Amino acid sequence: MSSVLRIALQKSGRLSEDSYQLFKECGIRFDYGTGKLKSVSSNFPAEFLFLRDDDIPGYVEDGVADLGIVGENVAVEMGRQVQTIHKLGFSKCRLSIAVPRATDWTGIQCLEGKNIATSYPNLLGSYLTEQGVRAEIHEISGSVEIAPSIGLAEAVCDIVSSGSTLLSNGLKEVETIFRSEAILIAPNELSKEKQELVDKLLFRIKAVQVAKNNKYIVLNAPNDSLDQITALLPGMKSPTVTPLATEGWSSVHSVLNENEFWENIEAIRAAGAEGILVIPIEKMIY
Ligand code: ATP
Ligand code: ZN
């Protein structure tokens, strides 16, 4: 029987939409939603399992799944024997310590002997040990941010993205202990056949990610400033330059990293470029 990659994704939550979107952009089709637990791709040797994110590292460690997408926070907290294959750049968040707004915070040593509520006892425990602080960790599985107001703890350690949940619960963020994003994990050992499929998938994921960071740029330039402008637009090999119908002008096409674009745009304009178009790229393969 030929190999099929089993890929575990979060069924519904903050990782789901971007995970589904990633496979879509990689051209891998499968059905999801409406309470499905499993789905087979119609055009790639992959089968998808839809699970709670907390269960994914365990399924991957046991080899029930060959790949999984989870937050780095969950992967590290669970401490399972899995390898990180690739960072995916979405579901970015941080794990932070927060205290009631009125607390006079002078540093992490303020937590000495205090109670801290969290769903991440391992990550918090390692951080406190590293900092030489002894505190009582209370593990709770949800609504951590209400712990101080009900007298359960003097501080919390929770996931933050914008900080608005903390604010609305009268808390202030005082220390970030971990930064997370979605990652692709795999068992430490994969068969040769599965590894080949993983490599094929990774090739596609990287092409999608690189494309997102780059833009296709088209502009008109007076011929006498072409050297100056093309030097600012190196492109994948070199820019394409074609003459315009208007005498003395050319059209320049190139690919540019989005950050470089913003850094160079003034110089490009100052050199006489006009009619600058910046176009998203769908896939990019070097
Ligand atoms: P499940 O029901 O699958 O157990 P959950 O409630 O434990 O889901 P979610 O809230 O969906 O988990 O979060 C999943 C992951 O998304 C987190 O582990 C974290 O990596 C990331 N995450 C959490 N909160 C945010 C946020 N506000 N912004 C971006 N990413 C986040
Ligand atoms: Zn969860």
pLDDT in tens, 106-152: 999 999 999 999 999 999 999 999 999 999 999 999 899 999 999 99
CA atoms of 171 and 160, how far apart (whole Å): 12
**Residue 1 pLDDT:** 57
**Average pLDDT score over the chain:** 95
**Do the domain assignments include residue 285?**
no
Verify that 104 and 244 share a domain, yes or no.
no
Verify that 69 and 106 share a domain, yes or no.
no
Lookup: tokens for 211? 């494309």
CA atoms of 73 and 83, how far apart (whole Å): 14
CA atoms of 32 and 20, how far apart (whole Å): 8
Verify that 84 and 131 share a domain, yes or no.
no
**Do the domain assignments include residue 245?**
yes
Count of structural domains, the chain = 3
**Sheet bearing 115-118, strands edge to edge:** 136-139, 115-118, 155-160, 93-100, 171-180
**Do the domain assignments include residue 21?**
yes
**Do the domain assignments include residue 242?**
yes
**Do the domain assignments include residue 286?**
no
Atom 30 of ligand 1: nearest residue by CA position? 91
CA of 161 from ligand 2 middle (Å) equals: 16
Centroid of chain to Cα 142: 23
**pLDDT tens digits, residue range 212-263?**
999 999 999 999 999 999 999 877 788 999 999 999 999 999 999 988 888 8
pTM: 0.90
**Do the domain assignments include residue 260?**
yes
* CB neighbour class for 45 (10 Å; exposed up to 12, middle 13-18, buried from 19): middle
**Residue 2 pLDDT:** 75
CA of 223 from ligand 2 middle (Å) equals: 59
**pLDDT tens digits, residue range 166-222?**
999 999 999 999 999 999 999 999 999 999 999 999 999 999 999 999 999 999 999
Whether 161 is in the pocket of ligand 1, judged by its Cβ within 6 Å, is yes
Whether 17 is in the pocket of ligand 1, judged by its Cβ within 6 Å, is no
CA of 121 from ligand 2 middle (Å) equals: 14
Q: Residue 218 maps to which CATH number? A: 3.30.70.120
251, 244 contact by CB (below 8 A): yes
**Final residue before a domain boundary, out of 211, 229, 263:** 211
CA of 132 from ligand 2 middle (Å) equals: 29
- Per DSSP, the three-state class of 254 is strand
Lookup: tokens for 224? 């006498």
Whether 159 is in the pocket of ligand 1, judged by its Cβ within 6 Å, is yes
Q: Which helix (H) or strand (E) holds 24?
A: helix 16-25
For ligand 1, what atom is nearest to the CA of residue 13? 11
Tell me which ligand sits closest to the C-alpha of residue 17: 1
152, 117 contact by CB (below 8 A): yes
Tell me which residue of 6, 1, 48 sits closest to 197, measured CA to CA.
Answer: 6
| Alpha carbon separation from 148 to 163, 198, 211, 282 (Å, rounded) | 16, 45, 45, 47
Verify that 62 and 21 share a domain, yes or no.
yes
Q: Is residue 88 scored above 80 in pLDDT?
A: yes
Q: Residue 104 maps to which CATH number? A: 3.40.190.10
**Final residue before a domain boundary, out of 193, 211, 229:** 211
The torsion angles phi and psi of 34, rounded to 5 degrees, stand at 45, 50
The residue segments making up the domain with residue 245 are: 214-280
Atom 29 of ligand 1: nearest residue by CA position? 91
Tell me which residue of 226, 225, 222, 230 sits closest to 246, measured CA to CA.
Answer: 222
